[in-house]
Amino acid sequence: MIDDPLKPVQFNQEQEAQEAIAQTTYKKKNHHLFQRLSSVLGGLGILTILVLAFRPPPIVVEVAEVKRSDVQVTVDEEGETRIRKRYVIYAPIEGRLARIELDEGDPVTKGQIIAQIDPLPLESDIREAQARLSRWQAEKAGVETQRPKKEAIAQAEARIRAAIAKQKEALASIERAKAELDQAKRDRERNQKLHSDGVISRQAKERTELAEITKIRALEVEARIADSARAEVNAAQEALAVLRAEQQDPDYLLDVYDARIASVEAELAKLTDDAKRTNITSPIDGYVFRVKLESSKYVEAGAELLELGNPQDLEIVVDLLSSDAVKVKPGATMFLEHWGGGSTLEAKVRYVEPSAFTKVSALGVEEQRVNVIADFVDSERGLNPLARGELRDRYRVETKTVIWSGKEVLVIPVSALFRCEPDNNPEVSDTWCTFVVENNQAQKRQIKVSQRSNFEAVINEGLQTQEKVILHPTEQIKSGTRVTVTPP
């Protein structure tokens, strides 16, 4: 079979036509796809523009850098200076006060006479008391002459000793007479028996009986002598007792005179002491603050005359809230500002009073306050105002008492803090947070604050140095909020 030579030509034409149609279709599809893609991209662009147009702008914030610094936590309060030792001079006795020539502000020296009371009435009383004392002493001496003499008492005692000796002798004679009587009785009894037996005569027996009777009468005589001696002893003792009673009779009068003399001596001592105090002297080297009584007049004891003090001997007294006073310890540093000079003065807390008092604030609130007493210390720059006399009594000062200090601690401004609920324990309320700027966004950060001063807070956890924290965060700022940092 012979092929048709025109057939390939027709086939090529048809193929080319199909290719042209396919190419045309492909171009149409691509053009349609491009149109759809352009529409989608255009819609996305418009949507993006709308989103950007209606999205809230970044919040402009002020930031501070987290850094390390030295911090002092202070309790700030107004105080005043006062004289450490104030002397109020009173009239020591009653009398007519002479006119006080001193004026307020005049200097005085220790021992200087600053006031006088007329001593004449006291001097008259002293002379009268001395006269009474001499009188009582003379009358007391006259009482002594009424006593029995010592020689009479000695003689009475000698009589007693002689009577006692005589009594002892009489008692000895009685004993001897009793012994002789006993012997006479035995002789009589023996002779009576011998006479009964016919050994002796009746005459011999009667002689022994007579001897016995004689001894009986001798014993009776000795007994009467002993009674007389005993009576003489009693009489001598009674005479001595009378003398001794007479010796003691003036004692009550002497007691009366001793009491009178003691009373006059006490009165005289008081009058003498009062007379010495008519010249009132200054107890210190200082100045006159107040003159209470200037003109001459009669004053009672205890009347206020002058007020003295040394204006160079100053201290500072600050009344703090009791909740702040418990944080202040003796030895704490105190700074004084706005006292009228250009420098800041330094003082040391000497004493915190143990008792609080009630004070009504300017808002009418009752507050419990405690006085804190501090002493000035010499400034290293030689700016101690006491040497120049710039500060005086009851001058107002603003004080800052240091209750805590730290070196190179991590700090942020107090204005960057706000209270928040803790992440792990929502019931704890005393938790602090801050906003940290990260990639132009605010991120909430929980932190631990150990100490706070008026302007800075010491951070223990939650922040690092050189991080940026937002100052004065508002309610508009949340975690993820876009922010713009104002230039410093």
- Domain span at residue 259 reads 125-144+255-275
pLDDT above 80 for 471:
yes
241 in the same domain as 174: yes
351 in the same domain as 303: no
Residue 351 within a domain: yes
pLDDT at 467: 93
326 in the same domain as 268: no
Q: What is the pLDDT of residues 38-67, one digit of tens each?
A: 666 766 767 676 655 556 688 888 999 999
Higher per-residue confidence, 312 vs 247: 312
317 in the same domain as 268: no
Higher per-residue confidence, 196 vs 414: 414
pLDDT at 233: 77
140 in the same domain as 265: yes
240 in the same domain as 166: yes
Q: Provide the 10 A C-beta neighbour count for residue 257.
A: 20
Domain boundary among the residues 404, 437, 452 is at 404
Confidence of residue 209 (pLDDT cuts 50, 70, 90): confident
pLDDT above 70 for 307:
yes
Residue 188 within a domain: yes
207 in the same domain as 158: yes
269 in the same domain as 130: yes
134 in the same domain as 262: yes
- Which CATH number do you get for residue 422? 2.40.420.20
Residue 24 within a domain: no
Q: What is the pLDDT of residues 211-252, one digit of tens each?
A: 878 878 888 887 888 788 788 877 777 776 666 655 665 666
CA-CA distances (angstroms) from residue 14 to 6, 9, 10, 430?
A: 13, 9, 6, 90
pLDDT at 453: 87
Residue 450 within a domain: yes
Residue 19 within a domain: no
Confidence of residue 386 (pLDDT cuts 50, 70, 90): low
Could you give the percent of the chain with pLDDT greater than 90? 33
Higher per-residue confidence, 14 vs 452: 452
215 in the same domain as 167: yes
Confidence of residue 177 (pLDDT cuts 50, 70, 90): confident
Residue 100 within a domain: yes
- Which CATH number do you get for residue 330? 2.40.30.170
How many domains is the chain partitioned into structurally? 5
pLDDT above 90 for 392:
no
Residue 37 within a domain: no
Return d(Cα 398, Cα 384) in angstroms, integer.
Answer: 16
pLDDT above 70 for 4:
no
Most confident of 64-78, 203-217, 302-316: 64-78
264 in the same domain as 134: yes
290 in the same domain as 267: no
